[in-house]
Structure 1
């Protein structure tokens, strides 16, 4: 579970920013249930090009480094970071990324500092009895270990082969050996921290994650089919059933009588394993159902499928889900229902979290008299005159005693984070110039 995320000098964010997921007003749990130490949902709102995507991108970049840096490094190439480039002096400074996590009921703090060439600093602390204890600290190529790290010789050997541009966390995950996770006397802060990053899921595109979810995220195809059917029927998109089966070309390749021996068949099987199965959708027609392929479905249906399957995978693993522009191609009611899954103790018993960006001001309002998002689940991004983005919560603004129409107040600019449009310049830019062209032609 993510408690907070801090970052600095990443894309449009120049100064250090913090996304704090600590509940401010209580988390709305039922009486007798333990209160959560972090909100389950965060929505980030702002104008176009304000930096919303960069905020999620910073956490996605940190995840990519934590999971893949040991495999992505190339000698002498350095790091592909994206600092704040509008000020050359700032662009030359290091970038920093830090998360506070609650793993197995224990707080962990992990972070690193990088420049264009290498990892400058890296650290991991945990708080098993409420007090800070060092797991490891890294200063360039120098490492120091905490008393509870254990296996110092093993860790020192792995530290010795950690590339300057790679994180120790991802390197130790590849070469380290974990103790049994069920042994509470032997905590595994390195393993648990890496696992949180590994499970965190990111999605941006219209069909993000659909092939991956169909192909690798679900081992039980029938279970996945039931999830898809229930999702589409609940959304009332006119689909009554779904068929999932291997691509016909895979069956033809595997049964080809001209295949030269076992090696050719194994290669065909390997190629088939890399392709997702074919999905067909049964639409009810006037006389009988008609089967249509995925590319025949609307953009909204494909988006719903991708988000729904990805959300189902995150909910059943207790992971954190990142979604840029969650409202793209979806009706506001469907978006609100998807968000509500992460706020429901029944649908989300493992404490999965959803962090998303959106332009849809309707998500700041209510649905069936219930708030779609609570005040401490709403954040804004705004860019200043120097091109630097800043991140701030709705809780910075005092609620109105007579009632607060957040949707209207946001659109009126009371919270900032809205475009500052010039109506005159907007009309002038888009006005037709046919008259001047006709005159020139004469």
Structure 2
């Protein structure tokens, strides 16, 4: 599970921000809400993370950092743009400062690609934590040069970080027993300045890279990085190709929207079309006439379902957009349910519906706020002093006790 994020000089975040969401050992366990960083680890992290703050405060920047790291690890080799699809902080001093991103997460340390069941992984002794770090250097307004890239690990999450691979500003790559480079010298010498080690080596059947690439692909996001089409037709096309997802979606639509009896995907001359059967209506309704809230829910549903079924992280920006406040806690509860979420998938989301705070523990809440210089600051509610579990988080947040609220007038 993902438990730490570091961001510097990335979009609205100028100064280093560290978000460490590990839960203190003295905190009573809430097993439905908290999960071990890796099986049998004593360190825990929340399964659902909600980011609150005013418009433009940096909430989406936090999710974008996670999305970009996932994209860079797995997809950067295919990128054809003049620069990488990210931005540094917009002031003169930051123009030539490096962008720094890092994540830490727990899991299986074996990168051999051996097929293991969930039970075998849980029983494995080869578990621990990974740390991936990436430095990018802006040049002449473009971000296209990797000056540092490294993956490290700690067995059982203890001791010093051990190198898996490391790459320097001259593109010299060092491997390890876990990440052997024997036989790949010619490929390593040709790694582009704007592509990841993993994305490059995986194309040449480097086994450890293929395993890491697969892990990077388990981040399901509605934030675009290097794609321009995540629109309605793309969603309908995906549903047309995945009937089990449509069946699962219909079960939820019937539970949360009493007006919709069923959604069907039918083939038309122009391609697949979504139609909605409503109680009391003679003719099925097309996608364009369906409620905005229902369409918003359908757009994010496949991302959430994939995370729950396969494990990983769902990054959902503006989860509450056009979705009723009573539905939001229901979606969060899916990640608490061990039957729905057998692999301890995580949900990271941004939202404005402060009423959701009534349904969250303080370990699940992150705030973003922007200072007078346009710099975003990110902090967990765990970092705010004297927050009791019995506090009314909703009332105190709107009262300004925790910060990160709009200043009106």
Q: Residue 98 in 1 paired to residue 102 in 2? A: yes
What is the aligned partner in structure 2 of residue 281 from structure 1?
Answer: 276
Q: CA deviation at 1:21?
A: 3.0
Distance 1:40 1:400, change over 3 A: closer
Q: Matched residue of 1:162: which SS? A: coil
Shift of 1:389: 0.7
Conserved? CA contact 2:220–2:304, under 8 Å: no
**Root-mean-square deviation (CA), in Å?**
2.6
In structure 1, distance between residues paired with 2:102 and 2:333: 28
Kept in 1: contact 2:21–2:380 (CA 8 A): no
Query: In structure 2, do the counterparts of structure 1 residues 375 and 402 end up closer, same or farther at CA, with 3 Å as the change threshold?
Result: closer
Distance 1:414 1:160, change over 3 A: same
2:380 corresponding residue in structure 1:
393
1:365-399 CA-to-partner distances (Å, cap 9, x unmatched) read: 1xxxxxx2111110101111211110011112234
Q: Among 215, 220, 233, which residue is 1:196 paired with?
A: 215
Q: 1:14 to 1:282 in 2, by over 3 A?
A: same
Name whichever of 133-142 and 331-340 sits farther off.
133-142
Separation (CA, whole Å) in 2 of partners of 1:157 and 1:200? 30
Q: Is the 8 A contact 1:5 1:19 kept in 2?
A: yes
Greater shift after overlay, 226-235 or 102-111?
A: 102-111
Contact 1:210 1:305 in 2 (8 A): no
Select 1:412's aligned residue among 399, 403, 408: 399
Asked whether the equivalents of residues 382 and 389 of structure 1 are also in contact (C-alpha less than 8 Å), the reply is: yes
Q: Please give the TM-score of this superposition, normalised by the length of structure 2.
A: 0.83
Query: Where does 1:7-406 land on structure 2 (aligned, <5 Å)?
Result: 7-24=7-24, 25-29=27-31, 37-73=44-80, 77-85=82-90, 87-104=91-108, 105-116=127-138, 117-128=144-155, 130-131=158-159, 132-149=161-178, 151-178=180-207, 188=208, 190-203=209-222, 211-212=233-234, 214-216=236-238, 220-221=242-243, 223-246=244-267, 248-249=268-269, 277-285=272-280, 289-365=282-358, 372-399=359-386, 403-406=390-393
Gaps of 5+ in 2: 109-126, 139-143
Look at both structures and tell me which one has the larger radius of gyration over its CA atoms.
1
CA offset digits 1:62-103 (Å, max 9, x no partner): 2222222212145xx343431111x21122100011111222
How far apart are the structure 1 equivalents of 2:335 and 2:240? 20
CA deviation map 1:301-351 (0-9, x unaligned): 111222223211221111211111111101111011001111222211111
Report how far residue 109 of structure 1 moved.
1.1
8 Å CA contact 2:128, 2:154 repeated in 1:
yes
For residues 102 and 155 of structure 1, the distance between their equivalents in structure 2, rounded to whole angstroms, comes to: 28
Question: Quick one: distance in 1 between partners of 2:345 and 2:192?
Answer: 33
What is the count of residue pairs matched by the alignment? 372
Query: Greater helix share, 1 or 2?
Result: 1
Query: For 1:150 and 1:17, how far apart are their aligned partners in 2?
Result: 30
Q: Give the 3 Å change call, closer, same or farther, for CA 204–298 of structure 1 in structure 2.
A: farther
